[in-house]
Amino acid sequence: MKSKIKQALQAYLDADDDLTVNKWTNAAGLSPSTLYDFFKGRKTSLTYGTILKLAKAQNISPQILLGVEDIPRKHTAPESYIGFAEDGQEWYEPQDIALGAENDLPDMPAGGFIVKVPDDALKHEGLQKGRFCWCESERPLKTGDLVYLETKDGKAAIRKLISMQLDAITLQWQAPDGTALHETLNTSFIKRMAPVVMQIMRV
């Protein structure tokens, strides 16, 4: 059975496609054989000093390599966002738009995407028109979530998910006069759907 430290080291390597044993040990001032021997069982343990050097080389807490803390999610500068062609309808045509320097958005974790809110349909839920929001592709959906969804006919919107069944979902939003609107969609009609996790503040 693998040791907790060996599992943590391997998990950290697996989480970063650009990181190799050679790169990591070189940055830490160690011989590559330090890790290779440990992974292959020729060395049964690593000193705490070695763990500290490996952690410092990646600017992370040594507790991560000891298997005590979770691996932090990698953050990158976003390059684009999903905007919408304004057509005055309840559903919009999504467009992938490059982010310019004037948008000045912070780095975001992997596994998601940015959407620019097209209307005030969820203003009563705190989602304001023109604001950027972060959607997390891998996060499980639950009733009550605000969600971004695209349909197979090329339309998209941001709605509140009020019920979710095996073959259908029901969405809610608000008309300009404050009337609550509802729509039920067959799940086979949906291309993708992800929860809105947060609104993004400019840096």
DSSP assignment string, 132-146: EEEEETTSPP-TT-E
Instruction: Supply the pLDDT for residue 79.
Output: 76
In this structure, what token pair is assigned to residue 79?
A: 């390059």
Q: Which residue has the tokens 């969609």?
A: 185
Query: Domains in the chain, start-ordered, CATH in brackets?
Result: 4-65 (1.10.260.40), 78-199 (2.10.109.10)
CB 183 within 8 A of CB 171: yes
pLDDT tens-place string over residues 123-134 = 999 998 988 998
**What SS3 state is found at 18?**
coil
CB 182 within 8 A of CB 121: no
CA count, 13 A, side-chain hemisphere, 73: 10
Calpha distance 157→121 (Å, rounded): 10
Q: How many residues appear in the chain?
A: 203
Alpha-carbon radius of gyration of the chain: 23
pLDDT tens-place string over residues 122-164 = 999 999 898 899 898 888 999 999 999 999 999 999 999 999 9
The winner for highest mean pLDDT among 58-67, 99-108, 182-191, 194-203 is 182-191
